[in-house]
Homo-oligomer: A and B are copies of this chain.
Amino acid sequence: MTARLGDPDFLLPERRERIDRAVAGRTRTLTVVLEAFCDPQNVNAVLRTCEAFGVQEVHVVEGPMKPYDRNKKISQNADKWLDVVRWKGTGECLAALRARGFALYATHLGEGSRPLGELPFGGEVALVFGNERRGVSDEARALADACYAIPMRGFVQSLNVSVAVAVSVSHAVERRERERGRHGDLDEADAAALKERFYALAVRQRARIAKAERLDARALTGRAARRARQG
């Protein structure tokens, strides 16, 4: 086989299968909006969770920490496989999602707030999470179709925001699978384009690994040569 670097044939069949499986599990009809997060650790943890649950699009409204610092250890490079959409303000982000047919559910504990389990997940849903300290903005609450809370049964007042996202997203995925029969639902063209993109990313990743291995081997040879000269 004479596959060139950058050629999808360069990928092992198992890697291609893994990509195809991931794309089959991807959705754009469930999404997450992060409003003005302060802690880049939280953004990275959320991206990792979304990637693991097949949520392809994550919307990040700029906050004090703009733009978020990538943290490989926490995100496990999750953002590489996602569409992270950045917005200047909550208003334009939520208006764009509403125009695409999304129901907007904002996490907020207060008058008229519903328990997570009572929300409908039959259609397109955007879950909106607010700043770690201040919670969702008044603007987000005003624009939301519903406010919801994860039922808190004890004395602590709130969950860590990355925990709240994980509980909400995993609940949404379970509900979607039970009620719609599936979670992953990209259309054919979108899935094909995403596969191409992921193949290319995986090829570049493999090329980087191969290069690192060659450099490693050269360093080893160099050390062996020096040792031979000294010996």
Q: A residues bordering B, Cβ < 8 Å?
A: 18, 22, 25-26, 45, 48-49, 51-54, 74, 76-78, 81, 117, 150, 152-160, 162-163, 166-167, 170-171, 174, 183-184
Minimum C-beta distance from A154 to chain B (A)? 4
Do B54 and A160 touch (CB < 8 A)?
A: no
**How distant is the Cα of A152 from the Cα of B18 in the complex, in angstroms?**
12
Which residues of chain B are within 8 angstroms of A157 by Cβ–Cβ distance?
76
Copies of the chain in the assembly:
2
Given contacts A162-B163, A163-B162, contact A52 B170 (CB under 8 A): no
Do A155 and B49 touch (CB < 8 A)?
A: no
Minimum C-beta distance from A196 to chain B (A)? 16
Do B117 and A160 touch (CB < 8 A)?
A: no
Which residues of chain B are within 8 angstroms of A170 by Cβ–Cβ distance?
150, 167, 170-171
Besides A18-B155, A53-B154, 10 more A-B contacts (Cβ < 8 Å) are A22-B154, A26-B153, A45-B160, A52-B156, A76-B157, A77-B156, A117-B174, A162-B162, A162-B163, A163-B163
Given contacts A22-B153, A155-B22, A174-B171, contact A163 B54 (CB under 8 A): no
Do B54 and A153 touch (CB < 8 A)?
A: yes
**How distant is the Cα of A119 from the Cα of B123 in the complex, in angstroms?**
28
